[in-house]
Copies of this chain bind each other. A is one copy, B any other.
Amino acid sequence: MSRPPRKKAARKSPAERAAEIVDAARAVALEQGLYAVTLRSIAARIDVAPALVAHYEPNMDALVASTFGTIVSAELAEVGELVGALPTPRERLALLLETLLDGTRDDVTVVWVEAWALGRRNEVLAATVRDEMDDWRAYVQGIVEAGVAAGEFETDDAASVAWQLLGMIDGLNAHALVRWEDATDRGSRIGHAVEGMLGLGRGALAAR
């Protein structure tokens, strides 16, 4: 089971080694959650002494926080690119919901949930969580405002609507994480809910 005893790690440039550590932290977080991002787990993954990880990172709280930020901002960029290809705000919002609720990003959902819990004991992480949440809110708000401007949506507080949309999405994903039994239908009915929030007619959101 245990790895063959490590001889000695090859000497690498600081930039290269630092990148290796960051990559390992991201991989561990996605595979086993933020709680598994530990001095020793990261060191073991890149086959290096724990002290080396400590040498490159100021402390583990910071590494956990930056790892969270990396994962979540990458997700936003990825989704943004996908959704941005569509022409109308209505279509963009529909695809956004469909994408975030399709159940293929449970690894990221775990990171979110653990970040909410861990944030209560890790100040740096808590601040990062707030920043990333705000980035997401701004992104969704942009879609909503575009829809209002285009006469597709109806609301007087796009920021509030954005918060509520994200809250709904995260809640549904978090639930699905736990009740893996029959969590096939997350998102099946959220369309109507969103229609209610944005003054759309029934079925208007998903319409072709």
- Give A residues with C-beta under 8 Å from B: 33, 35, 110, 113-114, 116-121, 126, 129-130, 133-134, 155, 157, 160-161, 163-164, 166-172, 174-179, 181, 185-186, 188-190, 192-197, 199, 202
Query: How distant is A140 from chain B, measured CB to nearest CB, in Å?
Result: 13
Q: Are the C-beta atoms of B110 and A113 separated by less than 8 Å?
A: no
Residue of B nearest to A174 (CB): B116
The 10 closest A-B pairs by CB, nearest first: A171-B171, A196-B196, A167-B172, A193-B193, A167-B171, A117-B117, A168-B168, A170-B171, A192-B196, A167-B175
Q: Which residues of B contact A166 (CB under 8 A)?
A: 171, 175
Q: Which residues of B contact A110 (CB under 8 A)?
A: 120
Which of A129, A163, A185: most chain B CB closer than 10 A?
Answer: A163
- A interface SS class: helix
Which of A113, A129, A133, A199: most chain B CB closer than 10 A?
Answer: A113
Q: Are the C-beta atoms of B177 and A163 separated by less than 8 Å?
A: no
| Whole-angstrom CA separation of A164 from B188 in the bound complex | 9
29 A-B contacts, Cβ less than 8 Å apart?
Answer: A33-B117, A33-B120, A113-B113, A113-B174, A116-B174, A116-B177, A116-B178, A126-B178, A133-B175, A133-B179, A160-B185, A160-B189, A163-B186, A164-B186, A164-B188, A166-B171, A166-B175, A168-B172, A168-B193, A170-B171, A170-B174, A170-B175, A171-B171, A171-B172, A174-B174, A192-B199, A193-B193, A193-B197, A199-B202
